[in-house]
A and B are shown apart, each in its own frame.
Chain A
Amino acid sequence: DQQVKQNSPSLSVQEGRISILNCDYTNSMFDYFLWYKKYPAEGPTFLISISSIKDKNEDGRFTVFLNKSAKHLSLHIVPSQPGDSAVYFCAASATGSARQLTFGSGTQLTVLP
């Protein structure tokens, strides 16, 4: 039973447009959320995070939105660049088991030139 779900295995967007990656969670104890990015043959790298006390966090071209009532978060990339093509993983943790991250299954983003 997946507690963190990324229902879109893949997404293609044109360079310069907005990429929106979605993530849903079921565990109401999750209070911290992260996005990781992974290139082929490499380990994931941390991208951006958000605490449940916020509904938005921005870092350059990357913005994460959190809707707690819907148990939904999204990652917006504006403008999208070909170098953004990678697999994006959503992850969540709960205070009390804060060392354990639960990951979604990932979304392959392809940014077309």
Chain B
Amino acid sequence: DAGITQSPRHKVTETGTPVTLRCHQTENHRYMYWYRQDPGHGLRLIHYSYGVKDTDKGEVSDGYSVSRSKTEDFLLTLESATSSQTSVYFCATETSGRASPRNEQFFGPGTRLTVL
């Protein structure tokens, strides 16, 4: 398994406060992703990165920003948290190597975020 860690693993915050979630990988994978998982919705893509300083929006990007200054780190920021952003957040990575199946993504353990 790819070495993917997420921090913090749990966080409770209040509406209106900024929150940053960190994803760290040790596999030197090119692509990194942030998803949120909510009941009835499965996993929805928030933002993704295809290299250092190269990011793009996913399906549910409103209210979120990301940064990737190093290959191994991908940060997700909620500038002003809202209760609708209460969710479980997963980071994922994907190699650009041809040996792997397309879209085989490796997921971190998740961060449970509660916005009161």
Contact = CB atoms under 8 A, between A and B. Distances in A.
Interface in B1-55: 1, 4, 31, 35, 40-45, 48, 50
A46 B43 contact: no
A41 B94 CA distance: 21
A32 B102 contact: yes
A44 B43 contact: yes
Interface residues of B, number: 27
Interface in B96-110: 101-110
Interface stretch (A13-21, A78-86, A91-99): A91-99
B48 A99 contact: yes
Interface residues of A, number: 23
A91 B33 CA distance: 15
Nearest to B100: A46
Interface in B49-86: 50, 58-59
Contact of A46 (B35, B42, B105): B105
Nearest to B30: A99
Given A43-B108, A105-B42, A32 B92 contact: no
A101 B25 CA distance: 20
Interface string A73-113: 00000000000000001010100001111111110000000
13 contacts: A41-B109, A42-B109, A43-B4, A43-B107, A46-B105, A49-B101, A89-B42, A93-B103, A99-B103, A100-B48, A100-B58, A103-B42, A103-B44
Interface of B: 1, 4, 31, 35, 40-45, 48, 50, 58-59, 90, 92, 94, 101-110
